[in-house]
Amino acid sequence: MSSGPHASAMPSILPPLVDAHCHLYYDSYAEDRDAAWQRALAAGVVHALQVGTDVASSRAARELARRLGPARASATCGIHPHEAKDGRPAEAWEEFEALAREGGWVAIGESGLDTFKEFSPLDDQRELFRRQARLAAELDLPLVVHTRDAHEETAAILRAERGSRQRTMIHCFTGGPREAEAYLELGCHISFSGVLTYKKNEENRAAARLVPEERLLIETDAPFLAPEPLRGKRNEPAFLTRTFATLCGVRGAEPAPLAQRLLANTRELFRLPPLAP
């Protein structure tokens, strides 16, 4: 295994990996969802968290997780910041909260802030982020956080609503060491995606070297953010191996022990049952 900063060769032995954040229930897999999942299994991905982004998608995530089985998949219930404008009205929030209280979830989210595209007004995003943070605390579930071009405010809201003892995942972390340190001070786990492999993203790779082993997670965010050299194509859980190879390279880590650490971190954070081999 190369330890260079851009190492992305596939490991010669595929260790068990957990995709800590994907959306395999999306319509983009309508024609080959089962085949995509079989490719993931063949690549060594033993479990995948199906992450909800609104009421309908959360239901779809839970349905798929149940079909794949608890040893292979789990689901979260969330309102993405892009959907915040539709989730803020009283009736919409009540529907979401009732769904969250039904159970069958390993986390609340993804929730958070996105000022890059701002498909929902920031006030709506902030309010829904706070509500979901409080709901996660009440239900004793981790919070899955989406943040884009909003690290300082995201950290401030987490500091106010979650403290440092609540289980929190910063999904698809795109920042550098400074941003990572702020989240680590709050006790967050930090999840790296295909963004880690992008050729000019030295700051993200520097952050991946900084994060303590016990706080690391890895994900695809499929169907988005395919890693190099597949950037621009539809992502899928099988491609997690490429991001994992880069993570091994930037940390100078051997694949097998790092994969076991990532698996243990994911199981502990989301309180997952024993996973299938």
Verdict on whether the full-model pTM lies above 0.85: yes
**Inter-helix orientation angle 151-161/122-139, to 10°:** 40
11 inside domain: no
Contact 161, 130 (CB under 8 A): yes
pLDDT in the model for residue 277: 67
143 inside domain: yes
Tokens of 272: 């997952």
Tokens of 161: 């609503």
248 inside domain: yes
Contact 265, 21 (CB under 8 A): no
pLDDT in the model for residue 228: 96
169 inside domain: yes
Best CA proximity match to 108, nearest among 169, 67, 17, 153: 169
Residue range 242-258: mean pLDDT, rounded: 96
Query: Using CA atoms, how far apart are residues 96 and 90, in angstroms rounded to an integer?
Result: 10
pLDDT for residue 154 is more than 60:
yes
E strand residue ranges, the chain: 17-22, 45-50, 73-77, 107-114, 143-148, 168-170, 189-192, 216-218
232 inside domain: yes
Q: Is the peptide bond before 89 cis (omega within 30 degrees of 0)?
A: no
Q: What is the mean pLDDT of the chain?
A: 92
pLDDT for residue 6 is more than 60:
no
Residue 122, domain CATH: 3.20.20.140
pLDDT for residue 251 is more than 80:
yes
Amino acid code (one letter) for 179: E
12 inside domain: no
Contact 57, 23 (CB under 8 A): yes
Binning pLDDT at 50, 70 and 90, where does residue 3 land? very low
6 inside domain: no
Other CB atoms within 10 Å distance of the CB of residue 137: 17
User: For residue range 7-59, what is the model confidence (pLDDT) as tens digits?
Assistant: 445 544 567 999 999 999 999 999 999 999 999 999 999 999 999 999 999 99
| Collapsed DSSP state (helix, strand, coil) of residue 147 | strand
Number of domains in the chain: 1
271 inside domain: no
| Structural domain boundaries enclosing 252 | 17-263
**Residue partners of 222: CB distance under 8 A and separation at least 6:** 19, 22, 23, 24, 234, 235, 236, 237, 239
